[in-house]
A and B are shown apart, each in its own frame.
Chain A
Amino acid sequence: MTSSSTSRPSVGVQLETKDIARTFADGTRALKPTSLSIPRGQTVVLLGPSGCGKTTFLRIIAGLEKPDPGGRVLFDNDDVTTTEIEHRNIGMVFQSYALFPNMTVSENIGYGLRLRKVADADKAKRVKEMLALTGIESLAERRIDQLSGGQRQRVALARAVAIRPRILLLDEPLTALDAALRERLRTELDQLLRSLGITTIYVTHDQAEAMVLGDRIVVMRQGEIVQSGSPRDIYFEPANRFVAEFIGAANVLAGPVTDGKIRLKGGTIPLATTQPNATIMLRPEAIRIDEPERCSWRGIVASVAFLGDRQRLTIAEASEQPIHVEASNSVSIKAGDQVGLAVEGRTIRVLSE
């Protein structure tokens, strides 16, 4: 079966993994049987702490590692499970960029085309397009050791995309850069991936990166998928405590529930649940500072950090642990103040442990 990827290669393929698992020789399970389906042109971010299996998952999709028997990897309906990476026609960007030091920028970008025996004129044209796409025309004849980290990242991306891959795989491509550059490139990369419209899998441990880049975020932990959904779903409706705390800041509070209210150290919050004991999550920006007498839940301000556009408060006595609240920069408040904490019911998320 031939896919439309042959005629419109830039949109990539639909990726399907069926029960792929990976057990190392010493018996450790790096990846439990995992099935995932990614529609054509979508960017999926595999997110999780180090050792969660995300890189193993990516490497199996790339063809750098073989899944345990029974697992299958399909590009459209083409079963590539046993296909070597060099025949899969994928684009891959590595954390270290892995640019070839014995080649110039242009030669690096054109390497995949050279292997495909693309005619010189066509190759030169495509390399030029790639240089323009990533904004590094002026670097064409540079040696790799003359490039900055951000420039290397662009070359690595241009090289991976130049071959019009069926799928683009990025393994922590921004991790090696400093924070400011990472933020700028994150936005740039997002625009580039959207303009290419290619099926992309992006591995990272940085939740901010995942939020910006992912059409869908797949959160992984200990070799399995914990939750898969849009950035919005993952943020507002985390499946469990791990996801809640991994994505953004979260206050996780636990207490007994009576008469539709959860009891905490500093008072009660209305909660619609039938459980006798509940664990809930509240995002720092979902808690509003109010007059103490107007609220059923109170605390004492332990510290105030003024951030310019907002203030970050730490509130003691509201719960067993101090809680974090993001308040508007206009609220006048200081450490030691007693405050009321107002919460809207729809922002409360009841967690399963």
Chain B
Amino acid sequence: MKSRQLFALACLLPLGIILAAFFLIPLVRLFLIGGGGEAGFSRYFRVLTMPRYYEALASTTILSLAVTAATLLIGGIAGIFLARNRFPGHGLLVAILTFPLAFPGVVVGFMVIMLGGRLGIFGQMTLALLGERMVFAYSIIGLFVGYLYFSIPRVLLTVMGVAEKLDNQLIEAARSLGAGPFAVQRDIVLPALMPAFVAAGSICFATSMGAFGTAFTLAAKIDVLPMVIYNVFTESADMATAAALAVILGLCTWAVLALARLYGGTNVAAAG
């Protein structure tokens, strides 16, 4: 009995080391730095009363929620369609759609500039058509498009994975009872995919909250919190404020994931 317990403990050891090295120790350190200096732990409340910081937190959260909603809508419909229909080029299409997974945020940001920047395709088209060059890459729209771009594959793959496993007899049974295409989606497909939506949406939200590379490349006019943290850290060398903001960003993301887990079942990945 004793040797079995020892064995179990030995198996736990790698997990314990990883947890300590990459999670607990840095987090505690970060938390302590955020509470250091003259201001002490009151800094956590003070940063939230400063417009620059709470506005950044609010816009980051709103942007992430909007991206999550749009991604779920687009990725969800596409995912269900791709899982339930087979046609020539299906595999290629899925490969192309999931390609952005391989891109770092910086590359995604660069692509948004190519699309909606000062010399972007969209600007050239609007110049030719409307006589005015329209540029959106450096606004919140640019961020939204960039985040959407790298979020869609995650949702697509998760939804496809679950939709492919959906028992086709459930749909046939619903149809035999009189359910048309709309009722089938509403009563059978969507409820079955709900856990996948919650899981994919959570990852999508968490990734958007913490996304840095895209925002950095676009040097957007709006401040997202990861950019603010970077600036505070590099420009003002204010380690304590940067640490406090990082902890707050982490807590907000975690709180939303916890809510999703509470209402959406247990399949939610705790992404960060």
Contact = CB atoms under 8 A, between A and B. Distances in A.
A98 interface: yes
Contacts of A69: none
A92 B176 contact: yes
Given A102-B192, A112-B177, 14 more contacts: A84-B175, A86-B179, A91-B176, A92-B172, A98-B173, A100-B191, A102-B187, A111-B174, A111-B179, A111-B187, A112-B178, A159-B173, A159-B177, A163-B178
10 contacts: A84-B175, A86-B179, A87-B178, A91-B176, A94-B169, A98-B167, A99-B173, A100-B191, A112-B177, A163-B178
Nearest to A94: B169
Given A101-B192, A102-B192, A163 B177 contact: yes
Contacts of B178: 86-87, 89, 112, 115-116, 163
Nearest to B181: A86
A85 B170 contact: no
A86 B183 CA distance: 11
Q: Which of B175, B178, B191 has the most chain A CB atoms inside 10 A of its CB?
A: B178
Nearest to B194: A102
B180 interface: yes
A134 interface: no
Contacts of B176: 62, 85-86, 88, 90-92, 160
Contacts of B172: 64, 85, 92, 94, 98
A279 interface: no
Contacts of A98: 167, 169-170, 172-173
Contacts of A89: 178
A35 interface: no
A15 to B, nearest CB: 16
A115 B183 contact: yes
Interface in A177-215: none
Which of the four size classes fits the interface of chain A? 20 to 34
**Residue from the set A85, A89, A91 with the largest chain B CB neighbour count within 10 Å:** A85
A222 interface: no
A89 B176 CA distance: 7
B188 interface: yes
Contacts of A90: 176
Interface of A: 62, 64, 84-92, 94-96, 98-102, 111-112, 115-116, 159-160, 163
B173 A92 contact: yes
A101 B173 CA distance: 12
Nearest to B183: A115
- In order of increasing CB-CB distance, the 4 nearest A-B pairs are A112-B177, A98-B173, A102-B191, A98-B169
A63 to B, nearest CB: 8
Most chain B beta-carbon neighbours within 10 Å: one of A62, A98, A102, A163:
A98
Interface string B238-259: 0000000000000000000000
B173 A115 contact: no
Main DSSP-derived SS at the B contact region: helix
Contacts of B170: 98, 100
Nearest to A87: B178
B169 A85 contact: no
A7 B56 CA distance: 68
A57 to B, nearest CB: 16
Contacts of A163: 177-178
A163 B179 CA distance: 12
A77 B5 CA distance: 74
B35 to A, nearest CB: 46
Nearest to A159: B177
Contacts of B169: 94-96, 98
Nearest to B184: A86
Most chain B CB within a 10 A radius of its CB, from A87, A99, A111: A111
Given A98-B167, A102-B192, A111-B187, A86 B173 contact: no
Contacts of A99: 173
B103 to A, nearest CB: 37
Contacts of A85: 172, 175-176
A106 B183 CA distance: 18
A98 B175 CA distance: 12
Nearest to B176: A92
A100 B167 CA distance: 10
Interface in B177-208: 177-180, 183, 187-188, 191-192
A96 B174 CA distance: 14
A160 B192 CA distance: 21
A9 B175 CA distance: 20
A94 B169 CA distance: 7
A189 B179 CA distance: 26
Contacts of B183: 115
A168 B179 CA distance: 17
A174 to B, nearest CB: 16
Contact of B173 (A87, A94, A116): A94
Contacts of A88: 176
B263 to A, nearest CB: 15
Contacts of A62: 176
Contacts of A115: 177-179, 183
B188 A100 contact: yes
Nearest to A171: B169
Contacts of B167: 96, 98
Nearest to B190: A102
